[in-house]
Amino acid sequence: MVKSTLPRFSPTEENSDSAIDQRRAWVEAESGIDLAALHHAGEAEAYRGNIENQFGYVRLPIGIAGPLLLRGEHAKGEFLVPMVTTEGTLVASYNRGMKAITLSGGAETEVYQNEIHSNATFETPSPQAVGTLREWMEGNQAAISAVVDDSTGHGRLLRCEYIPLGSRLIVNFVYDPADAMGINMITHVSHAICTMISDHHGGLTFHFPSSVQGDKKATFHNFTKGRGRSVRARLLLQREAISDLLHSSAEMMLRYYRNNLEIGHLTGGIGFNMHIANGITALGLATGQDVAYVGESANGLTSIEEHGDELLFEVTIPSLYVGTVGGGTRLPTHLPCLEMLGCTGPGGALKLAEIFAATCLAGEISVLAAIASDQFVRAHNRLGRNRPN
């Protein structure tokens, strides 16, 4: 049973080294556990606005994979990719996949849609009033856009979409997020729009956000429509890379892919891929992204086509949530990783999205080859077994 209360501090002291040390001492006293390993001094103020009740830091290892050669719309050239994980074998596998991409002449990448949406539900007196509210919104787009301009310097409203449901109107606000990941921006701005609409209509009841946006959940709506950066990466995987580097064959990889695709339908999952979640999480942790969105972002598609003794690989991620401003991107250990990738400054988010897609492509190529040629378990036994003493 907790015997005392958590120490409290003024807003100016909340993220100080002193406050962190006092909270950690309190937790040690209450739990009876030595937490000295969580101590790290000198950077407390940098985390202001990113965490509450901070009592220390958790250290995670970061590895490097590459070089990764890209011929993208925004990402061009070779990249060394930082990856944070505690899963042995993971970085080695992605490193192998990146070498295969580079040996094959580089991956083509593109962001084919760059939109993020949020939803609100308005309650009206009747179905007829729903039509009236929609007409008012369609006729007052300038006023709605003015709220956006007054509320943010990142992103702009592209359009409003409408779903009438009885006496309720679901409004989908669609934005260009610029270089931000966008969730905080659209939450703040959309609420301001809803408040303006409600005030203009005599205090009309609204609920924001609406579950239609599927935030941090796997939904067919976002899988088919896309949310965030919709991105793809493709590569003609050459015979030399398949045989000499991946130690497999086009026939073996294609056979496994087709069998796995057919069996995969039995799970009833959304999308089809080997392990896109690993790449998004590892690169996301390195670059200060909100990795909770992997629940949506990982619902991608990996496809393979036979081209003689070569294979055309393509990875499509309809809802990738990455940004280069805001969130954790400015933190002391994450900003250097973005700088290493050349993804700071205007347009950096689109470049980063393409690097994410190509990183996931590398992971798909490597693990699919490993399973197809029965290397997967042997590799994990050799590299990924952290055996207790």
The whole-angstrom separation of Cα 138 and Cα 272 is: 38
Sort 88 into a burial class: Cβ within 10 Å, 0-12 / 13-18 / 19+: middle
Number of helices followed by number of strands (H, E) in the chain: 13, 9
User: CB-hemisphere CA count at 13 Å for 54?
Assistant: 26
Residue 163: C-alpha distances to residues 55, 169, 317 (Å) = 45, 6, 25
Q: Three-class SS of residue 382?
A: helix
150 is catalytic: no
- Phi then psi for residue 356, to 5 deg, are -60, -50
Q: Of 28, 87, 115, 123, which residue is the catalytic one?
A: 87
Q: Of 191, 207, 221, 380, which residue is the catalytic one?
A: 380
275 is catalytic: no
The answer to whether 322 and 177 are in contact (CB under 8 A) is: no
- Phi then psi for residue 259, to 5 deg, are -65, -45
For 276-317, what is the HEC assignment? HHHHHHHHHHHCCCCHHHHHHHCCCEEEEEEECCEEEEEEEE
Tally of CB atoms within 10 A around 3: 6
Closest CA to 51 of 20, 7, 86, 85: 20
290 is catalytic: yes
Q: Where are the alpha helices (DSSP H) in the chain?
A: 17-31, 90-103, 127-139, 141-151, 183-200, 220-225, 239-240, 250-264, 276-286, 294-297, 335-340, 348-372, 376-383
Q: In the structure encoding, which two tokens stand for residue 162, read together?
A: 């409408």
Q: Three-class SS of residue 171?
A: strand
Annotated catalytic residues are: 87, 290, 380
